[in-house]
């Protein structure tokens, strides 16, 4: 007679004693079939909860104690065959009701298991890949390991379709799978970004080596980023359409230099890691309806789906979104449209994109997370420029701007595309080509540069850098950016487009000149322009007679700024400071730079202020700044007057060559020492 049959003959005290007896638990755990054992446990557990027994808590406590004593979670191997692997589920059972615990309770009404463990190669943090089966078949979720084993955090997964009838039970079950199937669940190296990633592995001889893969084109490393970037990952991972259709049409589009350079800047992005260059920004700006956004789409179609909120995003975004996006793409270019919608400092935006590292944020689970890093290009479009009179040299050094109106004479960037037929050219380039044929060229390009080799690429880069450097018109950071763009152009024309190579004359107009980048030089230009606009605020002295002019007008109606002569501008220090500060030029640094360059006269005490008295106004002594002409300005006057005394300079002028800052300085030091001594 079974225990079930005998138990009805017991009185209440005997029933309670029997349910908590060692003999009953020994019989339960002698059952080898886990499912039958769990059914028996469930039967007695329900019985313990009835009015005749009222010992459910004691029963479950005794059950847990017995399980611990028998090491049931280690000794019994109870395997279940999931979709793609067999795992030990121990005291749990799985049937048509779902997953049941050792007490026979349903902890999840779906089949759920851990299919992979992802270990981040940068942070060592782990995530797990959960697979679960619902009415639509097998689904996948990648979540932090700490979240998967915490009942409170695990509840959020209900939003993604996982049944949460018993979050604590499910968390315990997942934890059991992780601990007891460590050798059976595959580990995968993972990163949270696309592009280049370096990791340790073993070669065929068992030697530990460093390997460099490019996501998403390699399978040795997988993506374990958050769901917010899953669509972006898929946009690059999955190509669409026909590569040859894309290639043929893009070759036609590239006849416009703006489109060609935008595509080259896109191809150049993964080269930055190889050449050791900094991130950069390329901006297409001009009137609406001329094809700026379409150009972004064409450049983005190299890597994947160029649709909005895939590879191309609006700049109606926060700075934090820019950080996260740049970090996610890492080596693949980022594309942002509608610059005019960005309502914060555009200089700061460029510096954010080009700094290559975010500020980092604390994480409740992992503590301080490793900061996101990136080394890629950002290609933008908008109706206005980023550069202005207040832009810092750091901004301009990292920026290439293309005025599409100047490159198209007001026409569309895609005007004259021979394949468009009756379709409007911009619509053809966007809807027929870019959005229907994408994602092939990026992988082909990466495969090609791998075969080409790092040494060859760096050799091409040094050659292009030297050619641009020889122009002597821009700073090294600007030159580096354009050199990478030109190298990308050289490479794609080795195997993809077969065009005539770009030369420095094609691109030099897009470089900022040194004087544009140097903030102190721009401050000087601004200062001179403001003096020219406000000459009526100055007393003008003739060097021959020393008689002031404009005094009546000045003293009657205008405020007083200073004194103008043929050789210098003497201006009140307070007015000088106000002028520079109004355009955010740093006064102290500007004065220091100007003093070093000989743009101001320094007092006998070594200070920048000149204390003097304006006798025409009968005032007392006050502080002035005496600003002198630049050497270049004075030499240029001699050139214009055909009075050039330096043979080399004269030869350059005669041949129509552009004069550099170094030419001016050399000529001044060689031939005009006497003249500049008096300044």
Nearest to residue 504, comparing CAs of 556, 447, 530, 465? 465
Rg (alpha carbons) of the chain, rounded to whole number:
37
Q: Bridge-partner residues for 610, per DSSP?
A: 624
Nearest to residue 28, comparing CAs of 14, 45, 9? 45
Nearest to residue 142, comparing CAs of 203, 223, 61, 63? 223
Taking all residues of the chain, what is their mean pLDDT, rounded to a whole number? Answer: 83
Compute the distance between CA of residue 499 and CA of residue 295 in angstroms, rounded to an integer: 19
Compute the distance between CA of residue 289 and CA of residue 619 in angstroms, rounded to an integer: 60
Q: What is the mean pLDDT of residues 419-436?
A: 90
For residue 364, what pLDDT is reported?
46
- Residue holding tokens 């997370």? 369
DSSP conformational letter for 499: P
615: Cβ contacts below 8 Å, ≥ 6 apart: none
Compute the distance between CA of residue 677 and CA of residue 533 in angstroms, rounded to an integer: 29
Q: What is the mean pLDDT of residues 164-168?
A: 94
Angle at 114 (CA atoms; ends 112, 116), nearest 5 degrees: 145
For residue 410, what pLDDT is reported?
78
CA 574 to chain centre: 43
* Pairwise pLDDT comparison (551 vs 79), residue with the higher score: 79
Tokens of 248: 């043929």
- The CATH 3.40.50 portion of the chain extends over 236-452
Which range has the worst mean pLDDT, 23-27, 80-84, 138-142? Answer: 23-27
Compute the distance between CA of residue 325 and CA of residue 311 in angstroms, rounded to an integer: 10
For residue 596, what pLDDT is reported?
86
For residue 515, what pLDDT is reported?
74
For residue 676, what pLDDT is reported?
30
DSSP conformational letter for 678: T
pLDDT of residue 3 exceeding 60, the answer is no
DSSP, collapsed to helix, strand or coil, labels residue 626 as strand
Contact 359, 262 (CB under 8 A): no
- Residue holding tokens 């293309």? 402
pLDDT digits (tens, 9 = 90+) for 459-513: 999 999 999 999 988 889 999 999 999 999 999 999 999 999 999 999 999 998 8
Band (192; pLDDT cuts 50, 70, 90): confident
* Pairwise pLDDT comparison (92 vs 52), residue with the higher score: 92
pLDDT digits (tens, 9 = 90+) for 370-417: 578 899 999 999 998 888 766 677 788 889 999 998 888 878 899 888
pLDDT digits (tens, 9 = 90+) for 665-674: 455 444 333 3
Nearest to residue 47, comparing CAs of 98, 4, 94? 4
DSSP, collapsed to helix, strand or coil, labels residue 204 as coil
Contact 247, 397 (CB under 8 A): no
Q: What is the pTM of this model?
A: 0.73
Which range has the worst mean pLDDT, 97-101, 105-109, 522-526, 549-553? Answer: 549-553
DSSP conformational letter for 316: -
For residue 636, what pLDDT is reported?
53
pLDDT digits (tens, 9 = 90+) for 301-347: 999 999 887 899 999 888 888 888 999 999 999 999 999 888 888 88
Tokens of 339: 């610059």
Nearest to residue 103, comparing CAs of 88, 111, 91? 91
Compute the distance between CA of residue 371 and CA of residue 438 in angstroms, rounded to an integer: 31
Which range has the worst mean pLDDT, 40-44, 481-485, 584-588, 619-623? Answer: 619-623
pLDDT digits (tens, 9 = 90+) for 199-230: 777 777 777 777 888 999 987 888 887 777 88
For residue 5, what pLDDT is reported?
47
Tokens of 567: 């050789």
pLDDT of residue 117 exceeding 70, the answer is yes
Compute the distance between CA of residue 412 and CA of residue 286 in angstroms, rounded to an integer: 11
pLDDT of residue 553 exceeding 90, the answer is no
pLDDT of residue 643 exceeding 50, the answer is no
Contact 319, 245 (CB under 8 A): no
pLDDT of residue 281 exceeding 60, the answer is yes
End-to-end, the C-alpha distance of the chain in Å comes to 121
Element (H, E) at 55: none
Nearest to residue 623, comparing CAs of 600, 644, 603, 594? 603
For residue 126, what pLDDT is reported?
92
Q: What are phi and psi of 41, to 5 degrees?
A: -60, -40
Q: What are phi and psi of 53, to 5 degrees?
A: -115, -55
DSSP conformational letter for 657: P
Q: What distances in angstroms separate CA 616 from CA 368, 561, 562, 628, one per listed residue?
A: 67, 13, 11, 22
pLDDT of residue 418 exceeding 60, the answer is yes
Does domain 236-452 sit in CATH 1.20.120? no
pLDDT of residue 231 exceeding 50, the answer is yes
């Amino acid at each position: 007679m079974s225990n079930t049959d005998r138990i009805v003959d017991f009185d209440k005290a005997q029933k309670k004693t029997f349910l908590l007896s060692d003999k009953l638990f020994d019989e339960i755990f002698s059952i080898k079939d886990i499912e039958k054992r769990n059914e028996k446990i469930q039967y007695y557990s329900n019985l313990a909860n009835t009015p005749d027994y009222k010992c459910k808590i004691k029963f479950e406590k005794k059950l847990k104690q017995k399980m611990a004593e028998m090491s049931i979670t280690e000794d019994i191997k109870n395997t279940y065959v999931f979709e793609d692997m067999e795992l030990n589920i121990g005291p749990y059972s799985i049937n048509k009701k779902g997953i049941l615990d050792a007490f026979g309770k349903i902890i999840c009404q779906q089949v759920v298991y851990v299919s992979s463990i992802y270990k981040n190669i940068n942070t060592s943090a782990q995530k797990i890949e959960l697979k679960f089966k619902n009415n639509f078949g097998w689904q996948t979720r990648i979540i932090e390991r700490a979240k998967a084993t915490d009942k409170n955090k695990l509840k959020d997964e209900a939003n993604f379709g996982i049944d949460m009838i018993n979050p604590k039970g499910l968390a315990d079950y997942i934890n059991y799978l992780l601990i007891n199937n460590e050798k059976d669940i595959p580990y995968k190296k993972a990163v949270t970004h696309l592009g280049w990633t370096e990791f340790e592995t073993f070669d065929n001889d068992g030697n530990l080596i460093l390997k460099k893969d490019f996501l998403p084109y390699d399978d040795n490393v997988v993506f374990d980023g958050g769901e917010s970037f899953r669509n972006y990952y898929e946009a690059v991972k999955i190509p669409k359409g026909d590569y040859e259709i894309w290639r043929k049409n893009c070759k036609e589009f590239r006849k416009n230099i703006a489109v060609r350079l935008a595509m080259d800047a896109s191809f150049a992005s993964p080269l930055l890691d190889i050449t050791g260059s900094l991130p950069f920004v390329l901006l297409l700006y001009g009137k609406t309806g001329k094809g700026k956004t379409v150009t972004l789409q064409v450049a983005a179609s190299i890597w994947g789906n160029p649709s909005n909120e895939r590879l191309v995003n609006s700049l109606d975004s926060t700075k934090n979104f820019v950080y996260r996006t740049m970090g996610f793409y890492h080596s693949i270019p980022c594309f942002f449209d509608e610059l005019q919608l960005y309502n914060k400092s555009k200089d700061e935006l460029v510096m954010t994109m080009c700094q290559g590292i975010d500020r980092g944020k604390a994480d409740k689970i992992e503590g301080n997370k490793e900061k996101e890093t990136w080394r890629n290009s950002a290609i933008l479009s908008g109706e206005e420029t980023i550069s202005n009179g207040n832009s810092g040299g750091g901004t301009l050094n990292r920026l290439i701007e293309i005025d599409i109106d100047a490159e198209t004479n007001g026409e569309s960037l895609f005007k004259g595309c021979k394949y468009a037929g009756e379709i409007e050219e911009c619509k053809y380039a966007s809807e027929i080509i870019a959005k229907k044929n994408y994602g092939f060229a990026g992988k082909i390009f990466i495969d090609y540069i791998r075969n080409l080799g790092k040494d060859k690429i760096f050799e091409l880069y040094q050659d292009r850098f030297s050619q641009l450097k020889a122009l002597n018109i821009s700073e090294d950071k600007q030159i580096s950016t354009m050199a990478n763009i030109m190298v990308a152009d050289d490479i794609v024309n080795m195997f993809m487009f077969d065009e005539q190579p770009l030369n420095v004359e094609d691109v030099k107009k897009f470089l900022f000149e040194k004087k544009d980048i140097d903030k102190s030089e721009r401050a000087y230009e601004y200062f001179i322009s403001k003096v020219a606009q406000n000459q009526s605020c100055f007393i003008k002295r003739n060097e021959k007679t020393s008689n002031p002019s404009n005094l009546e007008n000045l003293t009657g109606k205008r405020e007083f700024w200073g004194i103008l002569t043929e050789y210098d501008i003497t201006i009140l220090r307070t007015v000088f400071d106000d002028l520079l500060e109004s355009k955010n030029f740093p006064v102290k640094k500007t004065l220091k730079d100007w003093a070093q360059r000989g743009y101001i006269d320094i007092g006998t005490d070594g200070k920048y202020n000149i204390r003097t008295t304006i006798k025409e106004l009968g005032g007392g002594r006050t502080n002035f700044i005496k600003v002198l002409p630049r050497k270049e300005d004075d030499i240029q006057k001699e050139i214009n007057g055909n009075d050039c005394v330096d043979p080399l300079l004269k030869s350059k002028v005669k041949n129509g060559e552009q004069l550099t800052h170094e030419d001016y300085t050399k000529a001044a030091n060689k031939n005009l020492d006497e003249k500049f001594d008096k300044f």
